[in-house]
Chains A and B, each alone.
Chain A
């Protein structure tokens, strides 16, 4: 398996633009997580899904952020409109209960909002 795949790896955009981050989890995993990492706030859980259903979105900072998982092999995290304070590295991770929910992380998307 190729592991968790994220795209794009880097994104530079201007304030006010819409940004969409994509994630393909490991095949067979039934949990998918979105994290944000910054120097100031460290690693933050934004939202996670189980069997494509959002379970906990309490970490989503505000209504500008939304996440979807239309099927077991794809998820998106959208920011609209983007702001400079959204600049961070966004990680996607997946897991399954068969491995005691050990999470496998993607390489991350480095987002810069100018």
Chain B
């Protein structure tokens, strides 16, 4: 069965410091991995995805994520956090060999708070 875990409910970072939001996953085949961001009173917005190729994926707003197959992780990172990065972040996964199962499995979300 597919699953994804975001072990931290909340991450607090000072503006200008690097940030990491953690995600681990479990799938039977090759994973397709996604990060989404949700700002208050908005829908989820796509940030980046890993399908195949380079393990370091770059996305919107200066975010990047590193796929680590041995650790089954896909942590979201940013070198220098901004107050405007404060939001709810969701990791999602699907099995790349899932055939017609087109749904994504979402983590429970991590609230990122960046303080000035």
Contact = CB atoms under 8 A, between A and B. Distances in A.
A95 B90 CA distance: 17
B102 A101 contact: yes
Interface string B58-80: 00000000000000000000000
Given A42-B108, A42-B109, A102-B49, A97 B102 contact: yes
Interface residues of B, number: 22
Given A42-B108, A42-B109, A100-B49, A107 B102 contact: no
B43 A31 contact: no
B100 interface: yes
B43 A108 contact: yes
Given A45-B103, A48-B102, A105-B44, 18 more contacts: A43-B44, A43-B106, A43-B108, A43-B109, A48-B103, A50-B100, A50-B102, A55-B100, A55-B101, A93-B44, A97-B102, A102-B34, A102-B49, A104-B46, A105-B36, A106-B43, A107-B42, A108-B42
30 contacts: A4-B43, A31-B102, A31-B103, A43-B90, A43-B108, A43-B109, A45-B103, A48-B102, A48-B103, A50-B102, A56-B103, A91-B43, A91-B44, A93-B43, A93-B44, A97-B102, A100-B32, A100-B49, A100-B51, A101-B32, A101-B94, A101-B103, A102-B34, A102-B49, A103-B44, A106-B43, A107-B42, A107-B43, A108-B42, A108-B43
